[in-house]
């Protein structure tokens, strides 16, 4: 199975502890409730946008994998181009920072792949159909921040 963006079914609402996610990621929002996620049930992972993402302000995402909270910043860039079939829209996500539990320090490559797969499915504002391709770039000096606790989301 792959990541899909969907409305969170009522039967799955218990899986998201919005308060823990926002606290772990130091984000303040009017509500700790989420209505959509990008989820891969087979890999037990889901992505939710937490805030930011306007202009040069990086977006902040929460990625929960096997109940561990991983957060990262992502700067969005849109490129417009033309090909034989017409206009093409390329969405580029640039990732400068990833925050994860210290216990996952040996799984950085797996986490990067989860981020790539989740953001590709997420697209632009939860809409993958609006773009022709998605490119995810990790900064050459991508900063990893390791936290002591696992940040369990459930």
Within a domain: 76: yes
Q: Which domain holds residue 37?
A: 4-147
* Total residues found in the chain within this entry: 154
Q: What is the pLDDT of residue 152?
A: 57
Q: Are strands 86-101 and 133-147 parallel, antiparallel or unpaired?
A: parallel
Is 113 contained in some domain?
Answer: yes
Cα 24 to chain center, whole Å? 15
Mark the ranges of the chain whose per-residue pLDDT is less than 70. Answer: 1, 25-32, 83, 149-154
In a domain, 13, yes or no: yes
Please tell me the predicted confidence (pLDDT) of residue 30: 58
Number of domains in the chain: 1
**Is residue 154 included in any domain, yes or no?**
no
Residue-level pLDDT at 25: 67
Q: Is residue 62 part of a domain?
A: yes
Confidence at residue 125, expressed as pLDDT on a 0 to 100 scale: 79
Parallel/antiparallel/unpaired status of strands 36-40 and 4-7: antiparallel
**119-151 pLDDT tens trace:** 999 998 788 887 889 999 999 888 888 888 666
Question: Residue 31's pLDDT is what?
Answer: 60
């Amino acid at each position: 199975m792959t990541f899909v963006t969907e409305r969170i079914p009522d039967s799955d609402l218990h899986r998201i502890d919005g308060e823990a996610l926002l606290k772990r990621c130091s984000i303040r929002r009017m509500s700790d409730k989420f209505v959509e996620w990008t989820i891969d049930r087979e890999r037990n992972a889901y992505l939710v946008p937490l805030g930011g993402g306007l202009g040069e302000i990086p977006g902040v995402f929460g990625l929960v994998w096997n109940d561990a909270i991983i957060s990262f910043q992502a700067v969005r860039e849109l490129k417009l181009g033309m090909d034989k079939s017409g206009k093409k829209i390329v969405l580029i996500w640039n990732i400068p920072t990833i925050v994860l539990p210290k216990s996952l320090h040996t799984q950085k490559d797996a986490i990067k792949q989860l981020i790539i797969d989740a953001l590709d499915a997420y697209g632009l504002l939860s809409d993958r159909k609006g773009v022709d391709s998605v490119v995810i770039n990790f900064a050459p000096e991508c900063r990893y921040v390791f936290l002591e606790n696992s940040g369990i989301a459930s």
